[in-house]
A and B are shown apart, each in its own frame.
Chain A
Amino acid sequence: MSGVLAIVEEHGGSFARSAGAVVSAAAMVASNLDTRVEAIVLGDSGVQERAASLGTFGARKVTVVTHPVLASYHPDGYLEALEPLVGDGEYDAVLLAASDQGKDLAPRLAARLDVPLLQEATGLSVDGGRVIVTRPVYAGKAVLSATSDVAPLLATLRASAFTELGGGSPAEVEVITPSLDAEAWPMRIVSHRSTGEGLPDVSEASVIVSGGRGLGGPEHWGVMEELRRALGPEATLGASRAVVDAGWRPHSEQVGQTGKTVSPRLYFAVGISGAVQHLAGMRTAGTIVAINKDPDAPIFKVADYGVVGDAFEIVPRLAEEIRSLKESGASDSGRSA
């Protein structure tokens, strides 16, 4: 048997934002290899009812692996549950989201299956029966195209760089309940505390409002927050290395080398001059907007749209205009929300 496998994430009974993109990417590869797409989801039993819906993106079969101890991610448990299923599948390619969870799990799976791994793919193609992965290296200063010499090709995908397919029919669903013993796992998860108010992670968000030293101090982030809120639930906050090094913002928000490389649909750079390592980290964004008081700032060289001036005047007005656009129902995302 062969095929392409998408390992998708669920959180609290719902599929992660990345699920559609990962299954769609798998479907694209499978169609080029003339084979079929399967998906696996691990979780508590809640996700079962939604499993067939992955057919929309092209999955023919969805295996739901349920067990109470799989309700939240634990690397030892997920590895134990997945290894036999992936190992026996003789897949051509196995794809996961390049989320924190995916990037934590994939290397362990690679070591167990004895196959190499390519993390954070932003492109997939098929050439002469081989799956080619493109991925940013040097934090986006260069792009590598590479392939694995052995099957399955194992890769994590930056979901925001892939397009969701649609229109497929419901998938066949198989439910498996493995025998798992959480007591046997050496790592213990003691607690989890939320810090991001449920905002999407900067590496996954489709809209990023990023601030730099031009904002003058951490106490001035209110305007950034206002713009983020105006842009809706898909938007999150980002930061330049300078402001993270200064302790104004958490490292989890940092965009660029030593932070995160991002590919959102829309990126706002506010008060960010545009150091080489920052530009590298966000240059694959769909549309870049720069707001900076220095008309010679390098950020304007990569921005699609620039406004020169004081962020404290421009950003609140921008938030206001976007709010009224959305309220009038004239925006694309306003219609779909």
Chain B
Amino acid sequence: MKIVVCVKRVPDTETRIRIDAQGLGIDPAGVKHVVSPYDEFALEAALRLKDETACEVSVMTIGGEECVETLRTCLAMGADRAVLLRGAFGQDGLAIAKALAEALTADSPDLLLFGLKAADDDQQQVGPMVGTLMGHPCATAVASFGVEGERVICEREVEGGVQTVTLPLPSVLTITKGAHQPRYPSLKGIMAAKKKPMEIREALAGPQRISVRKLELPPERDAGRIVGEGVGAVPELVRLLAQEARVL
């Protein structure tokens, strides 16, 4: 079975964000990048399937040359091969989905995994868009899954519950945390990653139709006040919530 995991290079979630001089993007100085955490969950899910059955796990990303480093991390974790679709993409998830769909049609994977959402743009859309464009069924927010014959059985995390769905292969899944605590690359894995295939292709450059007007830091919250210490402060807290903030 062929599995492709689509990953994204994003600023580390502990990074402090500064806005660039144009006010349209972030200031890249000093920003450390990582594989987006949800994409790591997706890769972990694929690698667990590979631990149990014979399958080939590819990782694919889209962006500039700097993404090679991100792909190497994925190879060190255990992916077999990597593909970079080279191109400059902004906020338009559909343009990204079209480029991925075009590249993936040639690869024809049986299972296509995405993280539920990227930790930077938080747009939560490229996976189901790729599924729709390729005509493959897609289940989102999958906490666990297994392949039985020609179908994949998924447990989806939905509001207030868990939904079980099945889809025929090939299909697209977006993966949430579930039990997918990502493995660390071993030293052996890091060494092996250097010899694994890293393919660079040009991404399909279609129109990008989201215009960014402004990127800004959220308004600072005014410093609040310490109402008091211990249980004795509770009546005053409740009074403030009811009468000043009017939220009770």
* Residue of A146, A195, A244 with most partner-chain B CB within 10 A: A146
**Min CB distance, A276 to chain B, in Å?**
6
Question: A107 and B93: CB pair below 8 A?
Answer: yes
**Complex: how many Å from CA A276 to CA B13?**
9
Q: How far apart are the CA atoms of A46 and B202 in the complex, in Å?
A: 51
Task: Tell me which of A115, A117, A187 contacts B166 (CB under 8 A).
Answer: A187
**Cβ-defined partner of A307 (8 Å) among B121, B137, B218, B227:** B227
Please tell me if the beta carbons of A139 and B122 are within 8 angstroms of each other in the complex.
yes
Q: List which A155-181 residues lie within 8 A (CB) of chain B.
A: none
Report whether A283 and B178 are in contact in the complex, using a CB–CB cutoff of 8 Å.
no
Contact with B along A125-156 (1 / 0, CB 8 A): 00100001001111111111111111000000
Evaluate contact between A277 and B242: CB separation under 8 angstroms: no
Residue in A114, A146, A300 whose CB lies within 8 Å of B213: A146
Within B158-178, the residues touching A (CB, 8 Å) are 158-168, 171, 176-178
CA distance A160 to B171 in the complex (A): 33
The answer, yes or no, to whether B125 is at the interface (CB within 8 Å) is yes
Report the nearest B residue to A140, measured CB to CB: B218
A318 adjacent to chain B (CB < 8 Å): yes
How long is the Cα–Cα vector from A257 to B215 in the complex, in angstroms?
A: 18
Taking a contact as CB atoms under 8 Å apart, the answer to whether A300 and B224 are in contact is: yes
A192's contact among B16, B125, B161, B221, by CB below 8 Å, is which? Answer: B161
B248 close to A (CB within 8 Å): yes
Please state if A305 and B128 are interface contacts (CB–CB under 8 Å). no
- Which of A22-30, A210-218, A285-293 forms contacts with chain B? A285-293
Knowing A137-B122, A196-B161, A322-B248, say if A186 contacts B168 (CB, 8 Å): yes
The stretch from B50-58, B65-73, B79-87, B231-239 touching chain A is B231-239
Question: How long is the Cα–Cα vector from A303 to B161 in the complex, in angstroms?
Answer: 31
Q: How far is the CA of A266 from the CA of B224 in the complex (A)?
A: 14
Does A321 sit within 8 A of B, measured CB to CB?
yes
- Cβ of A310 < 8 Å from any Cβ of B? yes
- A286 and chain B: residue at smallest CB distance: B247
- Complex Cα spacing A144 to B96, Å: 19
Distance in Å: Cβ of B112 to nearest Cβ of chain A: 14
Chain A 247-284 near chain B by CB (<8 Å), digits 1 or 0: 00001100001100100011000000001110000011
Residue with the greatest number of chain A CB neighbours at <10 A, chosen from B158, B242, B248: B248
* B124 and A119 contact, CB distance less than 8 A: yes
Chain A contact residues, CB within 8 Å of chain B: 75-76, 79, 99-101, 103-104, 106-108, 110-112, 114-120, 127, 132, 135-150, 185-196, 198-199, 201, 204, 231, 244, 251-252, 257-258, 261, 265-266, 275-277, 283-284, 286-290, 295, 300-310, 313-314, 317-318, 321-322, 325-326, 330-334
* A-B pairs with beta carbons under 8 Å apart, 27 shown: A101-B159, A107-B93, A107-B97, A107-B124, A108-B138, A110-B129, A111-B94, A111-B128, A118-B210, A137-B121, A138-B26, A142-B217, A144-B212, A149-B211, A187-B139, A190-B165, A193-B162, A302-B224, A304-B245, A305-B245, A307-B228, A307-B230, A309-B229, A318-B234, A321-B234, A330-B242, A331-B242
What is B's interface to A at a CB cutoff of 8 Å?
11, 13-14, 16-17, 19, 26, 37-38, 91-95, 97, 119-129, 131-133, 137-141, 143, 153, 157-168, 171, 176-178, 209-218, 221-231, 233-235, 237-238, 240-242, 245-248
